[in-house]
């Protein structure tokens, strides 16, 4: 099994972006959801996007954002992909792909086996399905360190390219890849010393362990 692709999500500073690049992560995630402790404003996004250009792919995370706000982020950061973490419909995914000509990732929150069936609804239009732990009602989407039962993926037939998120950290990412065979792993809070505060050593450790898990 090949090593999974690696995404470090919620980067907000040059030093931690450089750490992700040095650790050979494949994707840098920039969070454009204002309530999040990992929120990146457009000015900072412009700076980080320019620093990342040609060195690591830039993925913008949005939660039920209007198309205008997404367009502003795409322009500011020169994003390489869009990650939709809210209740966006398949039609919205298709419309954003057409509008920006960029790959679109759709996050599917998972708590039980029934949630996996939702992935098939988005497979025809999404370029990647990202399975994440379902958050409690009223909580922010993602970045809470929650994980779902990875054994739910035993025998699951992925409808296309997919990835795994939710509670992944240097201590458990190898087990996650072994159990699920995920072709992409995504960490946010799992490489932080506090909410929204990335740790360069944890980023390096996560990438090393994930890369050796293939």
Q: What is the pLDDT of residues 43-58, one digit of tens each?
A: 999 999 999 999 999 9
Question: Pick from 84, 171, 167: which is nearest to 127 by CA?
Answer: 84
- Residues 156-167: what's their mean pLDDT? 94
Can you tell me the distance from the alpha carbon of 165 to that of 145, in angstroms, rounded to the nearest whole number? 9
Q: Is the pLDDT of residue 149 over 90?
A: yes
Q: How confident is the model at residue 135 (pLDDT cuts 50, 70, 90)?
A: confident
Burial 141-177 (b: 16+ CB within 10 A, else e): bbbbbbbbebebbeeeebbebbbbbbbbbbeebeebb
CA–CA–CA angle 180, 181, 184 (5° rounding): 105
Q: Is the pLDDT of residue 136 over 60?
A: yes
Supply the mean pLDDT for the chain.
Answer: 94
Can you tell me the distance from the alpha carbon of 175 to that of 78, in angstroms, rounded to the nearest whole number? 34
Sketch the domain layout of the chain as residue ranges: 5-211
Q: What is the pLDDT of residues 73-105, one digit of tens each?
A: 999 999 999 999 999 999 999 999 999 999 999
- Strands (DSSP E) found in 66-182: 81-84, 104-110, 128-133, 162-164
Q: Which CATH entry fits the domain spanning 5-211: 3.30.1450.10, 1.10.760.10, 3.20.20.70, 1.10.1200.10?
A: 3.20.20.70
Q: Is the pLDDT of residue 146 over 90?
A: no
């Amino acid at each position: 099994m090949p090593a999974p692709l690696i995404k470090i999500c919620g980067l907000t500073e040059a030093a931690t972006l450089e750490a992700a690049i040095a650790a050979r992560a494949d994707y840098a995630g920039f969070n454009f959801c204002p309530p999040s402790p990992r929120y990146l404003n457009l000015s900072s996004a412009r700076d980080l996007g320019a620093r990342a250009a040609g060195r690591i792919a830039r993925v913008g995370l949005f939660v039920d954002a209007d198309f205008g706000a997404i367009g502003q982020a795409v322009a500011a950061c020169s994003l390489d992909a869009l990650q939709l973490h809210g209740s966006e419909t398949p039609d919205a995914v298709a419309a954003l792909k057409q509008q920006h000509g960029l790959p679109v990732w759709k996050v599917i929150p998972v708590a039980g086996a029934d949630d996996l069936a939702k992935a098939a609804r988005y497979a025809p239009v999404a370029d990647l399905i990202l399975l994440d732990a379902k958050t409690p009602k009223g909580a922010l989407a993602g970045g809470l360190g929650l994980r779902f039962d990875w054994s739910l993926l035993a025998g699951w037939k992925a409808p296309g390219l997919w990835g795994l998120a939710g509670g992944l950290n240097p201590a458990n990412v190898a087990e996650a890849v072994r159990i699920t065979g995920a072709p992409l792993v995504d960490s946010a809070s799992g490489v932080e010393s506090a909410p929204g505060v990335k740790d360069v050593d944890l980023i390096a450790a996560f990438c090393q362990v994930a890369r050796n898990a293939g």
